């Protein structure tokens, strides 16, 4: 699950926008996802997938075809690695 999450993060470019580790991110206006509640992140990403109440083309395009299991793997990796 850990390695699959790592590969998914690279595939979907999560590091590019979101501050996942403690290093400074030049794009501070993107939400921090490390240490967020898993249920909140799952709910939030599902909202982006269906484009309901969250109008963001970049997020929609990155996760529109990702499964719930893959979302959980990404969250697991983020919270275990950093």
Domain ranges of the chain: 2-81
Predicted local confidence at residue 4, as pLDDT: 84
Q: Which CATH class is domain 2-81?
A: mainly alpha
39 contact partners, CB below 8 Å, separation of at least 6: none
Predicted local confidence at residue 70, as pLDDT: 93
Give one DSSP letter per residue of 12-30, joined into a string.
HTHHHHS--SSS--S-TTS
Instruction: Note if the pTM is more than 0.85.
Output: no
Predicted local confidence at residue 28, as pLDDT: 66
Predicted local confidence at residue 30, as pLDDT: 79
Predicted local confidence at residue 26, as pLDDT: 57
> What is the spatial distance between Cα 12 and Cα 70, in angstroms, rounded to a whole number?
11
Please give the torsion angle defined by the CA atoms of residues 10, 29, 26 and 47, in that order, rounded to the nearest 10 degrees.
Answer: 0
Q: Mean pLDDT by 10-residue block, N- to C-terminus, for the chain (82 residues)?
A: 80 78 61 85 88 77 89 88 56
């Amino acid at each position: 699950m850990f390695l699959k999450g790592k590969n998914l993060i690279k595939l979907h470019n999560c590091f590019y926008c979101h501050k996942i580790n403690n290093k400074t991110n030049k794009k501070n206006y993107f939400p921090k996802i490390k240490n967020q509640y898993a249920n909140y992140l799952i709910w939030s990403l599902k909202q982006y997938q269906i484009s309901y109440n969250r109008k963001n083309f970049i997020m929609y395009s990155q996760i529109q075809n990702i499964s719930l299991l893959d979302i959980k793997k990404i969250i697991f990796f983020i919270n275990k690695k950093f």
